Amino acid sequence: MKRINKFHIINIKMEGFKKFKEPYSIEFDRFTCISGGNGQGKSTIADAISYAFCGTPFWGEKSCDRLLNSESREMCVEVQFVDENGEIHTLSRRRSGSNTTIVFDTMNLRQTDVVELFAERDIFLSLFNPIYFIEKIAEDGREFLQKLVPVVEQKDVLAQMSESTRTLLEGESLLDPEYFAKKRREALKEIEETAVYLEGQRDVLQRQYDETVAKLDDIVTKGNDIVSRKQALEEKQFEGIDVEALKAKQAAIAEALSDDKRKRLLERQAEAVHRQYVSKFTEEIAKINAEIAALSAQCQKIIARAKGVKIGDTCPTCHTVVTEENCRTIAAGLKAEYDDIRAKGQSAVSARDELVALDKKSAEKFEEFRQADLARIEADLAALGSADVSEIAMLEDRIKYGNLTPEEYAQLEELIKQAEAYANEVKVLYEANDIPEKIKAINKQLEECATKKAELSRLIAAVGEYSAKKAEITLQSLQMNRASIKLFDVVKTTGEVKNTFRFTYDGKDYRWLSTSEKIKAGLEVSALLERLTGLVYPKYIDNAECITTKLDPVNGQVILAYARNVALTVTYPLRQRAQAQEKVAA
């Protein structure tokens, strides 16, 4: 079915609908006035038209139960209207119980068919009821309008921007400018964090270099003193001593003493000195210790379980509910279990202590035998004569100490260690010579970061300008006379576009408008929606008596409802004016 973009109502019939139990019909002109006091049927007419086209009351409530006349079992509304081609159509909606029937020019329709033929509920009611949009769907107004506003192409936005901005954004996909800017801000933040890290590294290196230069003289002076003292002792150590001759003499004496018996004795002596006791009880003791530890852990668990037993709980052992009667029995059971495990543990401890005692006796006997062997070997060596052996020891000391006393030799060893530490420290100082190059490399990286940061900042700013311009172009399609709708806010500091929704009339928030101003603002919104959708549908203006100034011209059919203390009255000002003019002309 082809969509009906424009129509005006010529007649409506109601039956079983609100106050109209019996069939009731009203004719409409392009400009129709309905007057009546409260309860006379003005709102019933508005509800009837809304029900016929949308299946809801005038204000879009989901339930239609209140529309059914209290004395009727079914209700029906039939609307006759003329479309933009001058063709007359009839749309009726009948509800009987939970069943609803929709008929359009003898064809049965579903509500989805009605939507395709006219418009979805919120659009139809926003056109028919001028203040419906502001009163009922303002909270969702942003999403509602964004579905209607024309899509703004990227090329059209760029065409209205500076050449430098166009060049910067050329080739970029800006279907979602906010997401595009978000990813660039994330990249910018990453670069800034990298720059902060590099600056920190550079500062550390610069501080190391400055500290190295500052203590260089002190280290050199201290190192020279260490080397000087070390060299003095080294020169004294073997001054006038032929070390090689001493080593040769020592070797000759050792060779003279190398008969088989002495060699065997020395080998036995070395073996006895290094002989180690090996316990045969170690593995068994380890097993018993593991058993003791396991039994101890079981005892601790039983203690914890016993502390946790309370009347009303379930016994962790027998899974019986604890009561005052069986509490002692359960506690006794836990104690018996604990005593049994504890007895096993004590038995294991006794067994372990016995093994430990045996192991100690074995070790003592081993040491007794070893010492006896050493004494016998030393006696046998003494029997061979010790003069040459003593001379070997003396030569060993001479080769080791030279002219130095043991104290001087110890001092020399310490100076050698200090000289090595000094050499390492000097090595670190030499490595510090590379620091300026490292700082130079970091400075280069920082320059690259600054370049990337500037490029991203320019790109983010350009996208911000793009978003603002796109929002500006989008809002141009929402321009009205005195009413204003704002869907976006641009953050000046970042260029970021934030979603918002504000409705004003003559600069005033809608909440503070008078009824007359609300109606006029609603009519401007209705005209805006006509422009966005291309639909021109009738408008039902309730509380028309509150309008204090002249209305701007309204496109399409207008129905004005006045609250006046009279019976329901329908008048047709344009028709009456034409009749009066004909009368005057005659």
For residue 430, the model assigns a pLDDT of 65
Residue 528: how many other CB atoms lie within 10 Å:
22
Of 394, 429, 460, the last residue of a domain is: 394
How far, in Å, CA of 24 to CA of 159, rounded? 59
- Say which amino acid occupies 208: Q
Instruction: Classify burial at 200, counting beta carbons within 10 Å of its beta carbon; exposed 0-12, middle 13-18, buried 19 or more.
Output: exposed
| Closest C-alpha to 132, from 483, 501, 525, 508 | 525
In the chain, which residues have pLDDT < 70? Answer: 138-140, 142, 216, 254-261, 313, 315-319, 383-390, 428-432, 490-497, 586
- Say which amino acid occupies 306: A
Of 338, 370, 394, the last residue of a domain is: 394
Of 372, 394, 416, the last residue of a domain is: 394
Range of the domain at 37: 7-118+535-585
Could you give the C-alpha distances from 72 to 20, 50, 190, in angstroms and in order?
10, 20, 72
Give the Cα-Cα-Cα angle 320, 321, 324 (nearest 5 degrees): 115
Please report whether residue 540 resides in a domain.
yes
SS (H, E, C) 391-436: HHHHHHHHHHHCCCCHHHHHHHHHHHHHHHHHHHHHHHHHHHHHHH
| Closest C-alpha to 128, from 528, 522, 555, 539 | 539
Please report whether residue 272 resides in a domain.
no
How far, in Å, CA of 94 to CA of 336, rounded? 85
Residue 557 exposure: Cα atoms within 13 Å on the Cβ side: 23
Give the CATH number of the domain where residue 296 resides.
1.10.287
Structure tokens given for 78 = 């039939």
Residue 313: how many other CB atoms lie within 10 Å:
11
Please report whether residue 232 resides in a domain.
no
Please report whether residue 177 resides in a domain.
no
Reported pTM: 0.55
Please report whether residue 345 resides in a domain.
yes
For strands 558-563 and 31-36, give the pairing. parallel
The pLDDT tens digits for 517-572 are: 899 999 999 999 999 999 999 999 999 988 877 888 889 999 999 999 999 999 99
For residue 106, the model assigns a pLDDT of 92
50 three-class SS: helix
Please report whether residue 427 resides in a domain.
no
How far, in Å, CA of 488 to CA of 415, rounded? 79
Report the largest interatomic distance among the alpha carbons of the chain, rounded to a whole angstrom. Answer: 171
For residue 257, the model assigns a pLDDT of 62
Give the CATH number of the domain where residue 65 resides.
3.40.50.300
16 three-class SS: coil
Query: Domain tally for the chain?
Result: 2
Please report whether residue 377 resides in a domain.
yes
Structure tokens given for 39 = 């309860």
Please report whether residue 180 resides in a domain.
no
